[in-house]
Amino acid sequence: MSCFKWSPKRTASEEIVYQENMKRVAQESGKRLGLDGDPDLQFLLVGGELIKVRSDSWKKNRFYKLQEDCRTLWHESKKVHKKKQTYSIDDIDSIRKGRQSEGLKKYTDPSVEDKCFSIIFKGSKKNLDLMASSAEEANRWINSLEKIISIMHNLDYQQKSEHWIISCMRKVDKNHDNKMSLKEVKDFMRQINVEVDDYYAAELFKKCDTSNSGTLEGSEIKQFYNLLTEREEINVIYEKFAQTEGHMSSRDLLNFLLNEQREQVTMEHAQKLIEKYEVDAAAKQKKRMSKDGFLMYLQQDEASIFNPAHKNVYQDMSQPLNHYFISSSHNTYLMEDQLKGPSSTEAYIKALMKSCRCVELDCWDGPDGEPVIYHGHTLTSKVLFKDVIRAINDFAFKKSQYPVVLSLENHCTLEQQKVMTRHLTSILGDALLTKPLSDTMPTKFPSPKELKGKFIVKGKRLNKLDAFYSKNNTVVEESVSEEDEAAECKENGQKAKPKKSNIKLAKELSDIVVYCKSVHFNSFDDARDKQAFYEMSSFEESKAMYLAESSSSAFIHHNMDKLSRIYPAGSRVNSSNYNPVPLWNVGCQIVALNFQTPSKEMHLNQGRFLPNGFCGYILKPEFLRSPSSQFDPNDKNTFQNKKTFHVMVISAQQLPKINRDKAKSIVDPLVKVEIYGVSADTASKETKYILNNGFNPKWNESFKFTIHVPELAMVRFVVMDYDTTSQNDLVGQYCLPLTSVQNGYRHVPLFTKRNDVISSAGLFVHVMLMDA
């Protein structure tokens, strides 16, 4: 089947010219990726037929291929208005081999396992479930796509920027002649998110059209590109420090790193940067850095606002489990809202792949003796308990090796509780923690390091933990009180159950609850006197917020030797989120959020767990762990490490359009700098907006924040599209702890509302965190 089946009609000679142009475009794109002549790239460019799977009855052949820009996957469509459909490689999260999606498991036979694969997209876009004609062909597609995705992901900022600009040029080159007319230049400027008046566009065009041909081609397009991407703000910095014949010597660069970036580095480090990033061979030979090399360095991890030393696990992971903040999800099974949204194993996979380490399972009796998971007494769909456990087992430790807590909300009868236990033990095997790690009765939690690769069940237990060490392990009482979240069945007009209604608990299920026994919370005094370290309580958000405000010191000391779980109020039927920061401030470890709902609160969660290898565990500050601590987040007199945070918002690069459907829609960007932490530190300041320029807006505006407790503070950069008549739209955002911020001139990456990286966009700032 021809991959150009849907192309507009061309004459035979035009078709030959067109095909040659396409080959040239593909070759240039491949070269930029370092894949010139690569057989895997060639395989994707040629393309082939795959079976697209949607249901038992909907399995259809479709032709797929990589477009010549090497960044867009194309497939034919039978829809009248969508003859061609495309997916950006940037939007692909991963390729999943085999029948590893809900759709393929449901609609294909196990015998075709090795022919199947899924393309998993970022955000809420549905998976693409595909089947090849053979296992060999499926592997070829999987390996080739993974290679392209990996290379695109690992391009440096400058390469991503170049790719993006060139792809925008391709879009306006409607006749594919590799030339740009003045009209195409104007269209291109709108494509890259900048509105210019006709006079400016004509002047820019004239300056580059050195051949006076009325079109730009070859070196003229290159000159046009250079003029567009000129960074005046970088030139100013470079010229200030380039004191050696117009270049930066290694001594000049060291001066910049020590005095401007405040890095404790040596001459050897400066020379390594020149060796690594200088693009001019002659300058490199002289151990000098040109302006281009300097720009290249500023766009790398070393010059990111996020400290690259925090990209890997760097904290002490041998402390008791309750000494860590733990990335935690609520209603993990839901893809959307908690009234009628779909339940899916995919929701668990997405959460686990974001390093979530505590997932929730609402378990109810299902048909045929098989328990199901869904939001009880609502219209949310149901998913089999055993399918969820299989998905968790498959994906729990792909992003992080540290333990996963399975938070059970048990509404099942004794018979189905026994089925639950059987599935947990048979599917999770040795990874399921079924007894304490030590030979003697423990007095504190084991560490995340000791629990690597383990699943911990949180739920009700019929007896104390010391029953493991007693010969007489009999249980007289078979029922336990059902309280906290399990008793809150108010949704959808349901009458609330009494707070202490009893449920029958199977001994088999009780016995696999080891370190996370759920108990009712009465008071901090009661918990101190009667609760063992492994007995933990769950708090509805409003109760937790009240305690964090009224009894902050007691809450902090409670969390020094016990675990606390916080969950959203049942009234949040749209699965919105509460602010997790006040709960972290009092040391609460399991602050559960609706991962399926993109929100500012989820951005804060992403920021909190960004350091330490994004492993889902962050060691709490010492003053939240030490019994002698007098720290109180509501009392300034207990703060001991006051800092001043200076932020200069300089510029932004290549901001995306908000309304892609409107060709003339150009953003008017402004930047908000927000601080989250103890209430004394919470603040927000914003720049003015720049009219009609999302490509290279400049602000040069400075802000100053007083930070009383930097160990708990986070900074969030938010780029908004200003609107006079309605609410400003989010363009991009980035959040990180203040303790992971690098001083000096730094690039800030930008993420979407759903926390996916916007590959070519960024902010350029100058930041300085200093002793007050």
163, 310, 375, 557: the catalytic one is 375
Model pLDDT, residue 250: 96
The percent of residues in the chain predicted with pLDDT above 90, rounded, is 70
Q: Which residue has the higher pLDDT, 639 or 662?
A: 639
State the average pLDDT over residues 665-688: 96
Specify the fold of 321-464+477-624: TIM Barrel (3.20.20)
For strand 372-373 and strand 358-364, is the pairing parallel, antiparallel, or unpaired? antiparallel
| pLDDT, tens digit, 9 for 90 and up, residues 148-198 | 999 988 887 777 777 778 778 877 877 777 788 888 888 888 888 888 777
| pLDDT, tens digit, 9 for 90 and up, residues 418-462 | 999 999 999 999 999 999 999 999 999 999 999 999 999 999 999
Model pLDDT, residue 336: 83
Closest CA to 103 of 52, 50, 55, 51: 55
Model pLDDT, residue 500: 56
What are the phi and psi torsion angles at 24 (to 5°)? -65, -45
State the average pLDDT over residues 595-614: 96
Residue 667 in marked binding region: no
Model pLDDT, residue 443: 94
DSSP H/E element including 235: helix 232-241
For strand 372-373 and strand 513-518, is the pairing parallel, antiparallel, or unpaired? unpaired
State the average pLDDT over residues 276-293: 93
- Alpha-carbon distances, residue 23 vs 45, 67, 338, 729, 767 (angstroms): 10, 11, 50, 40, 46
Query: In which residue are the tokens 């609402």 written?
Result: 362
Is 375 part of the annotated catalytic residue set?
yes
State the average pLDDT over residues 276-287: 93
Q: How far apart are CA 689 and CA 699, in angstroms?
A: 8
* Whether residue 582 has pLDDT greater than 80: yes
The percent of residues in the chain predicted with pLDDT above 70, rounded, is 93
Instruction: Quickly state the pLDDT bin for 473 (edges 50, 70, 90).
Output: low
DSSP E strand stretches across 506-654: 513-518, 535-540, 564-567, 590-593, 617-619, 643-653
Q: Which residue has the higher pLDDT, 226 or 303?
A: 303
Give yes or no for a contact between 678 and 711, defined as CB atoms under 8 angstroms apart.
no
Task: Retrieve residue 436's tokens.
Answer: 């304490």
Strand, coil or helix: 386: helix
| pLDDT, tens digit, 9 for 90 and up, residues 260-274 | 999 999 999 999 999
Q: How far apart are CA 454 and CA 397, in angstroms?
A: 9
Q: Which residue has the higher pLDDT, 505 or 187?
A: 505
Closest CA to 634 of 568, 570, 678: 678
Specify the fold of 232-303: Recoverin; domain 1 (1.10.238)
* Whether residue 27 has pLDDT greater than 90: no
* Whether residue 123 has pLDDT greater than 70: yes
Task: Quickly count: other Cβ atoms within 10 Å of residue 3's Cβ.
Answer: 18
Q: Range with the lowest mean pLDDT among 104-113, 373-382, 598-607?
A: 373-382
State the average pLDDT over residues 23-40: 86
DSSP string, 275-338: HHH---HHHHHTTEE-HHHHHHHHTSGGGBSB-GGGSS--S---S-GGGEEEEEESSTTBSS-T
Instruction: Quickly state the pLDDT bin for 636 (edges 50, 70, 90).
Output: very high
* Whether residue 303 has pLDDT greater than 70: yes
Residue 155 in marked binding region: no
Model pLDDT, residue 82: 55
Task: Retrieve residue 671's tokens.
Answer: 């930047």
Mean pLDDT of the chain: 90
**CA angle (586, 587, 588) in 5-degree steps:** 100
* Whether residue 2 has pLDDT greater than 50: no
Model pLDDT, residue 608: 98
State the average pLDDT over residues 19-40: 84
Residue 336 in marked binding region: no
Q: How far apart are CA 456 and CA 433, in angstroms?
A: 6
Q: Which CATH architecture has domain 158-228?
A: Orthogonal Bundle (1.10)
Amino acid at 117: F
**CA angle (141, 144, 146) in 5-degree steps:** 105
Model pLDDT, residue 495: 40
Would the CATH topology of 12-154 be identical to that of 639-771? no
Q: How far apart are CA 707 and CA 741, in angstroms?
A: 14
Task: Retrieve residue 301's tokens.
Answer: 């991890």
Residue 387 in marked binding region: no
Residue 160 in marked binding region: no
Instruction: Quickly state the pLDDT bin for 369 (edges 50, 70, 90).
Output: very high
Check whether domain 639-771 has CATH 3.30.300.20, yes or no: no
- Alpha-carbon distances, residue 119 vs 104, 122, 129, 514 (angstroms): 12, 10, 7, 38
State the average pLDDT over residues 294-321: 96
Residue 56 in marked binding region: yes
Q: Range with the lowest mean pLDDT among 109-123, 401-415, 476-490?
A: 476-490
DSSP 741: B
What residue segments make up the domains of the chain, in order of their start?
A: 12-154, 158-228, 232-303, 321-464+477-624, 639-771
State the average pLDDT over residues 366-385: 92
Residue 394 in marked binding region: no
163, 310, 330, 708: the catalytic one is 330
* Whether residue 7 has pLDDT greater than 60: no
| Class (C level, CATH) for 12-154 | mainly beta
pTM of the full structure: 0.91
* Whether residue 656 has pLDDT greater than 70: yes
Tell me how far apart the terminal alpha carbons of the chain are, to the nearest angstrom: 69
Instruction: Quickly state the pLDDT bin for 667 (edges 50, 70, 90).
Output: very high
Give yes or no for a contact between 71 and 89, defined as CB atoms under 8 angstroms apart.
yes
Model pLDDT, residue 479: 66
DSSP string, 462-504: SS-GGGGG-S----S--EEEE-GGGG---GGGPPPPPTTEEEE
Instruction: Quickly state the pLDDT bin for 81 (edges 50, 70, 90).
Output: low
| pLDDT, tens digit, 9 for 90 and up, residues 228-252 | 888 999 999 999 999 999 899 999 9
Q: What is the 3-state secondary structure (H, E, C) of 391-414?
A: HHHHHCCCCCCCCEEEEEEECCCH
Query: In which residue are the tokens 């030959």 written?
Result: 16
Is 377 part of the annotated catalytic residue set?
no
Model pLDDT, residue 6: 41
Q: Which residues lie closer than 8 Å to 351 by C-beta, 6 or more apart?
A: 329, 332, 359, 595
Instruction: Quickly state the pLDDT bin for 491 (edges 50, 70, 90).
Output: very low
Please count the residues of the chain.
772
Residue 75 in marked binding region: yes
Instruction: Quickly state the pLDDT bin for 1 (edges 50, 70, 90).
Output: very low
Q: What is the 3-state secondary structure (H, E, C) of 165-184?
A: HHHHHHHHCCCCCCCECHHH
Q: Range with the lowest mean pLDDT among 203-212, 325-334, 451-460?
A: 203-212
Q: How far apart are CA 726 and CA 733, in angstroms?
A: 20
Q: How far apart are CA 483 and CA 190, in angstroms?
A: 58
Q: How far apart are CA 556 and CA 533, in angstroms?
A: 14
